């Protein structure tokens, strides 16, 4: 579909160049002209503030610059009017019949590609999200990360990128050992042996369930085994569970990347060596800038390996390899991002929790210390989700076995409601997820408000089919102002996708969806396609319009990973 902000901006740019050539404007480097959709009636369909921005370099008042632009502006058929307004805006009004004809374009593009852009054409993007270690099920807390990452991926695809969804995990740490030992203890207990449960072990019911399964599958053959096979078993079960849960909310990762592979390939130590070669690494008991007091405290420690993050403005250097020779998780994380860059992605988006806020900076500095570009890596920081139930907040603790699994939540409110509510706030602000509020399936629930718009379209078309009315070959010029309003709103989806992608703000699609539905419902009320003395040809055009509207809602719901029901 034609992207009006771009073609109009090109027209303005060409007009400016023509004006300069004609000597009506002084010579200056043409800036990027932006054209945006107008928000208010009477201001045309699109507008630009170019004349105001150029007023100074043009050495003329804004309105005069605008007049000069208009004088040299070519007028394609789709452009009905371009006028100067206000302090120096140029308002563009499109030819209504050109807009009405877009109904066919919308239907032709269909629910999979409507309003797709080309800004990512030929480029590969990667979105890394969820990345929870397989030590427990997916919780409500993870859900926001999952939904944000997947929606970002969908939007990137709509923007033309070839997108890979990746899940990074660690199955080698102390926590996984503890998981294995927890299962081992439950297994032995299930065999009737009196064994102590590990302190700080994982107490979730699912561990006991796995122990029971293990007894059924293997009997007591693992009685004398160490924790290793238990860890492997628990991990496999856990991953199966995690994937199953994510699948329920329409999320599928393309790639699961094991941190351990970075150790096996030697990448971790190679990375450290490369950083060292660039002068960012040293070994010491305490960091170089530490006070005498701190040095004294560290006197008994084994020397650790430090990364000079202070060179990038950090308050102190960071440990890469602990005194016992084991790397902190930051080092493999740097190696991981180096690996991503080597895989040749044009864009890497990383969805992280707020508790990693400081961490990602160190990783970015690590990339710079390697002499690699860090500007293609973008991080979306997800602030905490506060979970409420019965008017009270409850905390999630994996190890204590207190958590609300995403599975339970899906059972209660459904995948669609979860996907929508998790996009209900911009990622970098705190979100309160009130289970009772979301469970409430009442008029005030925007999920149904949006889906009902699709239902209504489907219902009309179903009814038309039953009456044997065909909408093909409709005369779209018979459509009215209401329908035009909706078509303009559909066009805005292009801007929403561009904005969401450029600013890494997937939540914008959720707010747009509400607006689109709010534009639709009043029109549905007024614009009848059948009965009530609606002329046959007008009804046919309106039917065609509702078919396009249905495509639009399918597209928007699809971008949010939600379903588009035919009936409520």
Contact set for RNA, span 420-449 (CB under 7 A): 424-426, 428-432, 441, 443-446, 448-449
The SS3 assignment for 213 reads helix
Q: From the list 224, 324, 375, 390, which residue makes contact with RNA (rule: CB under 7 A)?
A: 324
* DSSP letter assigned to residue 509: H
370-399 binders of RNA (CB under 7 A): 381, 383-384
Question: What is the distance between the alpha carbons of residues 558 and 151, in angstroms, rounded to a whole number?
Answer: 9
Question: What is the distance between the alpha carbons of residues 253 and 140, in angstroms, rounded to a whole number?
Answer: 18
Minimum distance between the CB of residue 533 and RNA, rounded to whole angstroms?
A: 11
The SS3 assignment for 269 reads helix
Cβ 12 vs Cβ 33: under 8 Å: yes
Q: How far apart are the first and last CA of the chain?
A: 31
Relative to beta strand 35-37, strand 89-94 is: unpaired
User: Nearest 5 degrees, angle CA 99-CA 559-CA 353?
Assistant: 135
330-349 binders of RNA (CB under 7 A): none
Report the candidate in 163, 153, 142, 150 with the shortest Cα–Cα distance to residue 238. 142
131-150 binders of RNA (CB under 7 A): 133
Minimum distance between the CB of residue 338 and RNA, rounded to whole angstroms?
A: 18
Instruction: Choose between 24 and 505: whose C-beta lies nearer to RNA.
Output: 505
Report the candidate in 188, 184, 153, 140 with the shortest Cα–Cα distance to residue 403. 140
Cβ 523 vs Cβ 177: under 8 Å: no
Residue 128 touches RNA, criterion: CB under 7 A: no
Q: From the list 1, 439, 530, 538, which residue makes contact with RNA (rule: CB under 7 A)?
A: 530
Q: From the list 185, 334, 349, 460, which residue makes contact with RNA (rule: CB under 7 A)?
A: 460
Count of Cβ atoms closer than 10 Å to residue 60 Cβ: 18
Total residue length of the chain: 568
Residues ≥6 apart with Cβ < 8 Å to 340:
126, 128, 348, 377
Q: From the list 2, 17, 21, 87, which residue makes contact with RNA (rule: CB under 7 A)?
A: 87
Minimum distance between the CB of residue 517 and RNA, rounded to whole angstroms?
A: 7
Minimum distance between the CB of residue 194 and RNA, rounded to whole angstroms?
A: 30
Minimum distance between the CB of residue 364 and RNA, rounded to whole angstroms?
A: 13
Instruction: Choose between 404 and 482: whose C-beta lies nearer to RNA.
Output: 482
Residue 61 touches RNA, criterion: CB under 7 A: no
Residue 535 touches RNA, criterion: CB under 7 A: no
Angle between helices 536-559 and 446-466 (to 10 degrees): 140
Residue 568 touches RNA, criterion: CB under 7 A: yes
Residue 73 touches RNA, criterion: CB under 7 A: no
190-249 binders of RNA (CB under 7 A): none
Instruction: Choose between 222 and 542: whose C-beta lies nearer to RNA.
Output: 542
304-323 binders of RNA (CB under 7 A): 304, 315, 319, 322-323
Instruction: List the structure tokens of 149.
Output: 């990452």
Residue 43 touches RNA, criterion: CB under 7 A: yes
Residue 484 touches RNA, criterion: CB under 7 A: no
88-127 binders of RNA (CB under 7 A): 89, 91
Cβ 143 vs Cβ 418: under 8 Å: yes
The whole-angstrom distance between residue 282's C-alpha and the CA centroid of its chain comes to 38
Residue 39 touches RNA, criterion: CB under 7 A: yes
Question: What is the distance between the alpha carbons of residues 490 and 495, in angstroms, rounded to a whole number?
Answer: 10
Residue 354 touches RNA, criterion: CB under 7 A: yes
Residue 175 touches RNA, criterion: CB under 7 A: yes
Q: From the list 79, 267, 527, 557, which residue makes contact with RNA (rule: CB under 7 A)?
A: 527
# of chain residues touching RNA (CB under 7 A):
95
């Amino acid at each position: 579909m034609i992207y009006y902000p771009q073609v109009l901006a090109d027209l303005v740019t060409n007009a400016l160049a023509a004006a300069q050539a004609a000597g009506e404007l002084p010579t200056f480097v043409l800036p990027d002209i932006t054209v945006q959709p107008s928000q208010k009636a009477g201001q045309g369909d699109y507008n630009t503030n170019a004349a105001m921005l150029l007023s100074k370099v043009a050495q003329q008042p804004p309105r005069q610059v605008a007049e000069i632009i208009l004088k040299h502006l070519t007028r394609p058929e789709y452009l009905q009017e371009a006028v100067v307004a206000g302090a120096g805006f140029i308002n563009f009004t499109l030819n209504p019949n050109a807009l009405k004809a877009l109904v066919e374009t919308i239907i032709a593009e269909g629910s999979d590609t409507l309003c797709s852009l080309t800004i990512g054409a030929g480029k590969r993007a990667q979105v890394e999200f969820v990345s929870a270690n397989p030590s427990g099920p997916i919780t409500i807390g993870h859900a926001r990360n999952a939904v944000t990452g997947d929606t970002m991926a969908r939007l990137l695809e709509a923007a033309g990128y070839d997108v890979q969804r990746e899940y990074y995990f660690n199955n080698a740490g102390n926590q996984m050992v503890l998981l294995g030992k927890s299962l081992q203890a439950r297994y032995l207990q299930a065999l009737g042996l009196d064994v102590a449960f590990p302190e700080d072990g994982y107490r979730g019911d699912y561990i006991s369930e796995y122990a029971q399964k293990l007894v059924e599958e293997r009997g007591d053959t693992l009685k004398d085994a160490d924790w290793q096979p238990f860890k492997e078993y628990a991990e496999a079960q856990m991953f199966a569970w995690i994937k199953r849960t994510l699948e329920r909310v329409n999320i599928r990762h393309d790639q699961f990347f094991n941190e351990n592979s970075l150790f096996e390939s030697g990448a971790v130590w190679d990375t450290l060596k490369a950083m060292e070669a660039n002068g960012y690494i040293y070994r010491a008991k305490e960091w170089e800038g530490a006070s005498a007091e701190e040095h004294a405290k560290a006197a008994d420690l084994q020397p650790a390996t430090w990364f000079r993050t202070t060179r990038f403005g950090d308050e102190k250097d960071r440990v890469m390899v602990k005194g016992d020779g084991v790397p902190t998780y930051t080092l493999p994380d740097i190696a991981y991002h180096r690996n991503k860059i080597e895989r040749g992605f044009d864009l890497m988006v990383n969805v992280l929790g707020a508790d990693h806020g400081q961490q990602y900076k160190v990783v970015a500095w690590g990339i710079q210390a390697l002499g690699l570009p860090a500007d293609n890596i973008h991080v979306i920081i997800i602030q905490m989700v506060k979970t409420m139930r019965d008017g009270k907040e409850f905390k999630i603790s994996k190890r204590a076995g207190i958590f609300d699994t995403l599975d339970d939540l899906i059972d209660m409110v459904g995948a669609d409601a979860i996907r929508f509510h998790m996009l209900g706030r911009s990622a970098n602000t705190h979100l309160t997820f009130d289970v009772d509020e979301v469970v409430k399936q009442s008029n005030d629930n925007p999920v149904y408000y949006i889906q009902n718009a699709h239902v209504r379209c489907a219902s009309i078309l179903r009814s038309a089919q039953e009456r044997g009315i065909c909408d093909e070959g409709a005369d779209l010029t018979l459509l009215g102002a209401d329908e035009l309003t909706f078509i303009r709103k559909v066009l805005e989806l292009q801007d929403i996708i561009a904005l969401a992608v450029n600013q890494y703000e997937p939540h914008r699609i959720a707010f747009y969806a509400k607006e689109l539905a709010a534009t639709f419902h009043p029109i549905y009320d007024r614009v009848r396609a059948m009965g009530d003395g609606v002329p046959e040809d007008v009804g046919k055009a309106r039917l065609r319009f509702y078919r396009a509207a249905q495509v639009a809602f399918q597209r928007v719901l699809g971008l949010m990973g939600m379903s588009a029901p035919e009936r409520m």
